[in-house]
Amino acid sequence: MPQVNASGQPYEDDAPEPAAAPAQQASTDALDDLLDEIDGSLQTNAEQFVRSFVQKGGE
């Protein structure tokens, strides 16, 4: 089954880990700043935010 990795574990930590992006040295600082900011914003209320994000079906 493709949903399960070779050792039979659910596909949880099987995602390839990102290497440092080689071609974008110029924007690395901006990315690091953005990452810090995102990380900070997620430390509070992430759980409540996820719980309250409820949509109706569409189309």
Partner 1 sequence: MRIVGIETEYGITDPDDPRANAILLASRLVSACRAELGDLSARWDYGGEDPLQDQRGMRRDRRYATADLLTDAPEYSEAERGITLRRRRGSWEDPAHLNAVLPNGARFYVDHAHPEYSGPEVRSAHDAVLWDVAGDRIALAAAARYEAIEGERVTLYKNNVDGKGASYGTHENFLVRRDVDFDALASRLTAHLATRQVYTGAGRVGLGAHGEDAGFQISQRADYIETEVGLETTLRRPIVNTRDEPHASRQRWRRLHVIIGDANCLEVPTYLKIGTTALVLAAIEAEDERLDALVLADPVGDVRTVSRDLALETSLALASGETATALEIQRALLEICRDYARDGDDALVLARWESVLDRLGRDIFEAAREVEWVAKLQLLGRLRTKNAGPDGRPLPWDDARLAAADVQWSRLGDGFAFRLAAAGAVERLTTDEAVAQAETNAPQDTRARLRGAIVAGRPDIVDAAGWSTVVLDRDADHGNLEVVHLYDPHEASHPLLDSLLRG
Contacts with 3 (C-beta within 8 Å, 6 or more apart), sequence order: 10, 11
x/- contact string, 16-35, with partner 1 (CB under 8 A)? xxxx-x-xx-xx--xx--xx
CB 7 to partner 1: min, Å: 14
Distance from chain centroid for Cα 58:
25
Residue at 39: amino acid letter: D
User: Which residues here bind partner 1, judged by CB under 8 A?
Assistant: 2-3, 10-19, 21, 23-24, 26-27, 30-31, 34-35, 38-39, 41-43, 46-47, 49-50, 52-59
